[in-house]
Chains A and B, each alone.
Chain A
Amino acid sequence: MNKPIRRLFIVTVLMFASLAGMLGYHQVVQAQRLAENPYNTRKVFAQMRIERGLILMRDKSELSANRLEDDLYYRTYPGGDLAPHVTGYSDVTYGQTGLERSRNDYLTGTADEVELFTILDTILGREKRGADLRLTLVPEVQREALDQLRSIGKNGAVVVLEVKTGAVVAMVSSPSYDPNLLEANWEQLNADPVAAPLFNRATQEIATPGSSFKLITTAAALETGAFKPDSKFDDTKGSIDIYGNTINNYRTLPFGKHDLADAFAQSINTTYAQVGDELGQETLFEYMKRFGLYERPPLELPEDEVAVSGRYEAGKLAGPEKQLDPVQVAWMAIGQENLQVTPLQMAMIAQAIGNGGEMMAPYLIDTISDYHGTIIRQADPKVWKTPIDSSTAAELTEMMIMTVEEGTGSKAQTSKTQIAAKTGTAEVEGRGPNAWFVGFAPAEDPKYAIAVLVEDAPDESGAIAVPLARDVLLAALGL
């Protein structure tokens, strides 16, 4: 054998020997360690190697950002407690909620359209990078809503929508929480089932609408032609007997002769019980559905964080298929009888009325852009439903103006703009009632719609929600 062949042989033998050695090392010596390396951990770490997209408010201020530590990205929330129910959180231990969860694909750059990897990226061995979400939330409005709820010291929610687009301008749930401090506060955050700071009251809480539901009853009454705003009623006792059941006005106040518009503005239960009886359950359910009840609003939050509004029985949606007795129908017309709605849903109803009868699909994300601002997706406002025609919407608007001018919403009067609204109070067993404010402004050219829910209101008028709603609307209008 000559020299080169001999050398080649030796080298080959050595290479095979080292190959066998390494195989043996990993298969035998390292086997235990490899086996104890669960796939889940690797997956989590894989995600943590990705620079997640930012979540920004409309003015590009940051709600969710990143902190790089030991080559891993950790989520930080520069917005603190400003909008945690919208962004949600993304955490190795506690998982994901909110947009962090529902838009994880964009935020981690795994959505198809996010980043077409170029040859250059491949050569440079770049990791995938997430896309930024720029939200429709306006920080001043969001801040005002949160501060207002805090200042009255009650749990509650505020949703503000752009009337013409359905863009969510503010979405607040109080008490809020700081997602930066999840680990420190986790037990405390989960300790109080009433306060429930992690719970997004704006979209998850289903609460009895009370008189604010009269928006739907009135819409049905007018659109079907069964009643007109000037349809005449007479209330002498402040209460009414419906099939042997007594329905009272607030404080059993008698109103005397009045028309439907008065009944709306003063929230006269006796009259609305008669209207409901006249319309019947079929019509009421039809209009509930027209206004999007019984359907999940198409918001970008995870499905289980957006509740469906409607009539509930034993914790489950109960639809029109079940024949109700006339007393139940009368109660339903005034917003009781197991009706349960979310603040988001009520804001959408106000938005539809303010928008001439067109209900927009609500949305939180204005644009999704890649790392250097190239827009991948842009919100395209869409009509979701058209529950009523524009003349009905106009008549309703007039009645809502009256409510503010001379009715239950008088505390929403302001010289700066004309607000149109409907208030509501719904009794809750064991604590103060839920106070509602549902409306929009400016009444003559609606720009922002609002729904406010305050839990455990201090008195039965529900008046507490009214000035709060007014101030948030003024903040939205920049007035």
Chain B
Amino acid sequence: MPATFATESHTGLVRRGNEDAALAQPPVFAVADGMGGALAGEVASGMAVAALAEAAPGTPEELASAIREVNGSIFAQATGDAGRSGMGTTLTAALAGEGSVTFVHVGDSRAYRLRGGLLEQLSSDHSLVAEMVRRGELSEEDALAHPQRSIITRALGVDADVELDSFSVELAPGDMFLLCSDGLYSMVPEPAVEKILNGSGDLAVAARSLVEAALAGGGEDNVTVVLFCPDGAVPSGDGQGPGAAERGSSPPAGGTAEGGPGERAVRNAGRWRDWRVLAAVALALVIILTMATWYMTRQVYYLGASEGRVSIFQGLPLEVGPVSLSSLYRQSDVSLDDLEPFERERVLREELTSLEAAEEMLQNYSGRQGAEAGTDREDAGRRPSATTATGTGF
């Protein structure tokens, strides 16, 4: 019985472009998850899948060498084209042979096998958190929520040479295999994946259900699944014809800045993203600072003169071009002319202070003015206060 298979891919609910690519060209199946800005991720994953489709390897050795070759070409492009610097892709490829399936794997896409109703992960993620989990520094649950969970430690196209995980599994009747990008397993827990695969009698339906589950789980990343049964135990339904190198179901969008969870970068790569993020942060900072500065300027006051009268101004005694950073808060009836020269000079210094202090100063100037009028030398003598005590003045 010939192999049956199905593929499904979706941009997800957050990303604007689909950087995943899939291949179902029996006996070769693959999932690639690209990275790098300005379409570079799509280019990388597309190159990987296309190369496999073209090479159509028949043996594990041919598979591995085809992959090494495409690694070289992606790397060449990445280093040759500034816009594609940092470009790379994961690749999890399978070659269904007689009695066994060979996998070649790099990155954090995954290969699973469903045997006897039980789902088992065959590949090991080449990601920072996976390594931490392997070293026992992180639990599986924490890994799923780890802020750096999308950093992968190995990928195609980031170096001239690449280390590939290559392994084969014996085939048993009824084995079903699942290749998927991290957009699936980071959104859908494994038991749910297992349930979907077991509950469906049709690979195409199962593939669609998996993608829908990923979208229901948040759809924060591109999600791509490839399902195949080497012995055709499960029908592929109306689904996919052979030989299709599948692109995501949503058309790719233009290279725009992306942020948010699931943002992926390889250490040592993704500089493009770094400066985009930096620019965004800087812009946000400038906006925040501008707003904070404006807010601050409204908190300060100063004493000055308007129409020859001592007045309180709000803001800064500055003009930026045609824009005055201050506004008249209150004009008093104290005339500058009534002040002593030194007082006038002090008022006109327009020194920043709080509203409270400015009010007090104004009070001082107006209060003393009133007192002045009543100060006659004849009346200057004050009665000593009732609470006279020993001791002196100051």
Contact = CB atoms under 8 A, between A and B. Distances in A.
Q: Do A and B come from one complex?
A: yes
Interface in A361-395: 361-363, 365, 368-369, 371-375, 377, 379-384
A62 interface: yes
Given A2-B268, A300-B394, A476-B377, A383 B384 contact: yes
Interface in B349-379: 352-354, 357, 360-361, 364-365, 368, 376-378
The A contact surface, by secondary structure, is loop
Residue with the greatest number of chain B CB neighbours at <10 A, chosen from A2, A360, A361: A361
B77 to A, nearest CB: 21
Given A361-B392, A384-B392, A369 B384 contact: no
Interface stretch (B108-116, B162-170, B200-208, B339-347): B339-347
A64 B202 CA distance: 101
B235 to A, nearest CB: 50
Nearest to B384: A381
A382 B389 contact: yes
Contacts of B381: 162-165, 167, 447
A120 B385 CA distance: 38
A58 B352 contact: no
Interface string A49-83: 00000100010111001000000000000000000
A362 B393 CA distance: 8
B382 interface: yes
B377 A478 contact: yes
Interface in A124-176: 124, 138, 140, 162-167
A477 B378 CA distance: 6
A118 interface: yes
The B contact surface, by secondary structure, is loop
A455 B393 CA distance: 31
Contacts of B382: 164-165, 381
Contacts of A24: none
A377 B390 CA distance: 18
A62 B368 contact: no
Interface residues of B, number: 32
Nearest to B385: A380
A472 B310 CA distance: 38
Nearest to B340: A60
Contact of A54 (B342, B385, B388): B342
B191 interface: no
B54 to A, nearest CB: 34
Contact of B343 (A58, A373, A379): A373
B383 interface: yes
A374 B364 contact: yes
A374 B361 contact: yes
B144 interface: no
A298 B392 contact: yes
Nearest to A364: B393
A58 B380 CA distance: 10
Contacts of A62: 340, 342
B109 to A, nearest CB: 25
B361 A372 contact: yes
Contacts of B390: 382, 384
B388 A373 contact: no
Given A373-B343, A373-B368, A383-B388, A138 B393 contact: no
Given A380-B385, A382-B388, A382-B391, 5 more contacts: A363-B392, A373-B343, A373-B368, A381-B393, A383-B388
Interface of A: 2, 54, 58, 60-62, 65, 118, 120, 124, 138, 140, 162-167, 298, 300, 358, 360-363, 365, 368-369, 371-375, 377, 379-384, 447, 476-478
7 contacts: A300-B394, A358-B384, A363-B394, A369-B364, A373-B361, A373-B368, A381-B384
